Structure 1
Amino acid sequence: MQPIAPSSLPAWARSPARRLIAVLPVLPVLALSACGGGRDPDSLTQPRNHLLGVDRGATGGDDELKGGVNAYLWRGAIDTLSFMPFASADANGGVILTDWYQPPSSSGERFKIAAYILDRRLRSDALRVSVFRQEKQGSEWVDTPVATNTTSDITTRILARARQLRADNGNRN
């Protein structure tokens, strides 16, 4: 490619300052279009659930995320487990993994929780919770069994919070 001679450019393009001024109005449009990524164009017209902070699914109900999990269960799990540090949370896949949490009252044990939202419906079988516990023995953390009611108590709290969110949002599905 041969360079373009400055004399062949229009008058506005000969000055670097004028070129910058000519390009400035286009930059925000380019920046915003780059943010669109691989979004589904239909998702831009979907209503937004302002209480849950998630988009409603394109295929239907008020309590679905686009990825196919129940938004109330998702938000209920986030709210219930918020006292623990999150290692990861995938709203599309419906998976929440916490990092190890050591209760302030106990220096010799720690807990980790995995919560899975399995369905679009707000049902108890759409939620699976796994709780892991370790005790410190010497300088090592050793896996130990969790009390029998711990997992069911956390599951019950998540379900109760999800139902409360649905009721607060005015949906009686």
Structure 2
Amino acid sequence: MTFQRAIGVAIVLAAGLGLAGCGGNNRTTTSAAALSGDEFNASRSNDVGTYTQSSIWDVFGPGKTEQTVQVNRYLWAASLDVLGFLPIESVDPFTGVIVTGYGTPPGGGRSYRATVHIKDPALSARSLKLAMQTSGGRPANPATVRAVEDAILSRARQLRIADDNL
């Protein structure tokens, strides 16, 4: 009797696995950004973006969710350099995001926090997205944000020229 019961359980499990393999479940993946380097690559899986079909059999195959993107290393280093007076709360090299805490610039009286997103390998203004907030929770003056963006871009160009001279 126990042998027949074991066969019955095995059949039920096989049928369950077969049905699970037939059903699809959408999961998402997207590209990620790298820590530094013009052509430096990094990969990450299970983010948000493109839809892919999955099944139970994906467990046994190679990972299909890895994708590669690039971030400009000069913009990354310049952002950390220019915003060095702000405490860093989080850095995500896979998405190219730097989040700082509140801090007061040298010679300034108002406290700011910043979020930097570097989204392209090119050393250009379109690769850099900066959001700044005052300690009161309001967005910083657009002129201030523009001045910090210009300082980051200028510093990135200086770093690139210094690399070429080596």
Q: TM-score, normalised by structure 1?
A: 0.53
1:10 corresponding residue in structure 2 = none
CA–CA distance in structure 2, aligned partners of residues 121 and 55 of structure 1: 12
CA–CA distance in structure 2, aligned partners of residues 71 and 101 of structure 1: 24
1:167 corresponding residue in structure 2 = 161
CA–CA distance in structure 2, aligned partners of residues 170 and 133 of structure 1: 37
Q: Which runs of 5+ in 2 are unaligned?
A: 1-34, 43-69
Q: How does 1:131-142 map to 2 (within 5 A)?
A: 131-134=132-135, 142=136
Shift of 1:143: 2.3
Residues 93-128 of structure 1: CA deviation (Å, up to 9, x unaligned): 211000111457677x42110000010111110000
The 1:127–1:99 alpha-carbon spacing in structure 2 relative to 1, beyond 3 Å, is same
1:144 corresponding residue in structure 2 = 138
Q: How does 1:7-156 map to 2 (within 5 A)?
A: 56=37, 63-67=38-42, 68-102=70-104, 109-134=110-135, 142-156=136-150
Residues 42-78 of structure 1: CA deviation (Å, up to 9, x unaligned): xxxxxxxxxxxx764xxxxxx2332411111111111
CA–CA distance in structure 2, aligned partners of residues 104 and 69 of structure 1: 28
CA–CA distance in structure 2, aligned partners of residues 129 and 90 of structure 1: 15
Q: How many residues align?
A: 104
SS in 1 for 2:137: strand
Give the AA of the match of 2:40.
L
Shift of 1:144: 3.0
* 4+ runs deviating over 6 angstroms: 104-107
| Alpha carbons 1:66, 1:92 under 8 Å: kept | no
The 1:115–1:149 alpha-carbon spacing in structure 2 relative to 1, beyond 3 Å, is same
Give the AA of the match of 2:138.
T
SS in 2 for 1:97: strand
CA–CA distance in structure 1, aligned partners of residues 99 and 90 of structure 2: 5
Give the AA of the match of 1:95.
V
CA–CA distance in structure 2, aligned partners of residues 165 and 124 of structure 1: 15
SS in 2 for 1:129: strand
SS in 1 for 2:77: helix
CA–CA distance in structure 2, aligned partners of residues 75 and 106 of structure 1: 23
Which structure carries more relative contact order (alpha carbon 8 Å, separation 6+)?
A: 2
| Alpha carbons 1:73, 1:162 under 8 Å: kept | yes
CA–CA distance in structure 1, aligned partners of residues 98 and 80 of structure 2: 8
Q: TM-score, normalised by structure 2?
A: 0.56
CA–CA distance in structure 2, aligned partners of residues 167 and 106 of structure 1: 30
SS in 2 for 1:93: coil
